[in-house]
Structure 1
Amino acid sequence: MEIKILGTGCPRCKGLYETTERAIAELGLDATLAKEQDILKIIEYKTLGLPALVVDEKVVSAGVGLSLGEVKKLLSNKIG
């Protein structure tokens, strides 16, 4: 599973990255986590809100900060 956090480095973007990192660890997922901060690459995802959570190249959340439980639920839906 490939997971990306799209964002420009704002506190919400950093927070989503840390929350997602924790969710991956708690779920025991075999996943890679990356930050995408290049605005031209972010635009390619056609999301209007940041931060955005991308799983296997699909935007699953955009424009909101997510709790640990919300991230875990989104990731679990992608593996289940």
Structure 2
Amino acid sequence: MRSIKILGTGCPKCKTMFNNVNKALDNKGVKANVEKIEDIQEIMKYNVLSTPVLVIDEEIKIKGKAGDVSEIESFL
């Protein structure tokens, strides 16, 4: 099962990213463990300066913007 993390402090873009990830998973029929990380100390471990960040299987795919559903599907 894939591991997906959304790093962000809860801003509107972070919430959009979370919703878009779930839509992309549904569209592709992919099962994944989706985790929303809002703790700033945890986010800093990924060495990123802007959120939201999409991490799939510990690899950063998107940072600083809410990826759209089709873009997220391309990573699945």
Percent identity of paired positions between Structure 1 and Structure 2: 37
Q: Counterparts of 1:24-63 in structure 2 under 5 Å? A: 24-63=25-64
Deviation at 1:59, TM superposition (A): 1.0
Q: Counterparts of 1:1-80 in structure 2 under 5 Å? A: 1-75=2-76
The separation in 1 between residues aligned to 2:29 and 2:56, in whole angstroms, is 16
* Number of aligned positions between the proteins: 75
Give SS of 1:23's match: helix
Task: Give the partner amino acid of 1:73.
Answer: S
Structure 1 residue runs of 5 or longer lacking an equivalent are 76-80
The separation in 2 between residues aligned to 1:63 and 1:2, in whole angstroms, is 20
Structure 2 residue runs of 5 or longer lacking an equivalent are none
Greater fraction of residues in helix:
1
Deviation at 1:30, TM superposition (A): 1.8
The separation in 2 between residues aligned to 1:68 and 1:55, in whole angstroms, is 14
Give SS of 1:54's match: strand
The separation in 1 between residues aligned to 2:35 and 2:13, in whole angstroms, is 15
Tell me which of the two structures has the higher relative contact order, counting C-alpha pairs closer than 8 angstroms and 6 or more residues apart: 2
Task: Give the partner amino acid of 1:55.
Answer: I
Give SS of 1:69's match: helix
Task: Give the partner amino acid of 1:21.
Answer: N
